């Protein structure tokens, strides 16, 4: 049986800036040796697709490439690079099945092979057993 998560993180927002903190916390925890579970739901299920491109939200969207270059210079790898690192470090990555259906995300389009399709009961189980719970909007 797999170790229970030390950290459980829910990600609902696929925006460039909105992904920085949750993926950063998850990566820091995993690098420190803590077990991590990440649950992608709502529009954030798109982040786990191979076709996802991170962008700023709203009126700032046309400036996304400038923001991306600035984050690169500051040492922030793109979300897909962080997700690959997390998978390599043993993080459990879940995607909400009902959200996949709603946002038209197909299982064969997912970036990572170890992503588990789940629903809210899995999320509740992970949150109930986690030492640290992170909800970011």
Q: How many domains does the chain contain in total?
A: 1
Q: Is the pLDDT of residue 136 over 70?
A: no
Query: Does a structural domain hold residue 2?
Result: no
d(CA 63, CA 43): 21
Query: Does a structural domain hold residue 1?
Result: no
pLDDT digits over 1-34, tens only?
Answer: 356 668 888 899 998 888 888 999 999 999 999 9
CATH code of the domain in which 130 resides:
3.40.1260.10
Give me the domain span that covers residue 73: 7-135
pLDDT digits over 75-96, tens only?
Answer: 888 999 999 999 999 999 999 9
Q: Which residues contact 65 (CB under 8 A, 6 or more apart)?
A: none
């Amino acid at each position: 049986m797999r170790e229970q998560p030390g950290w459980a993180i829910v990600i609902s927002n696929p925006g460039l800036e909105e992904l920085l903190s949750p993926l950063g916390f998850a990566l820091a925890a995993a690098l420190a040796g803590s077990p991590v579970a990440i649950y992608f739901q709502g529009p954030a299920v798109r982040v786990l697709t191979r076709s996802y491109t991170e962008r700023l939200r709203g009126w700032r969207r046309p400036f996304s490439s400038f923001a991306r270059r600035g984050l690169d210079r500051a040492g922030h790898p793109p979300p897909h690079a962080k997700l690959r690192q997390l998978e390599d470090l043993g993080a459990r990555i879940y995607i909400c099945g009902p959200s996949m259906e709603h946002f038209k995300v197909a299982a064969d389009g997912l970036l990572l092979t170890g992503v588990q399709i789940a629903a809210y009961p899995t999320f509740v189980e992970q949150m109930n057993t986690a030492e640290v719970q992170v909800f970011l909007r």
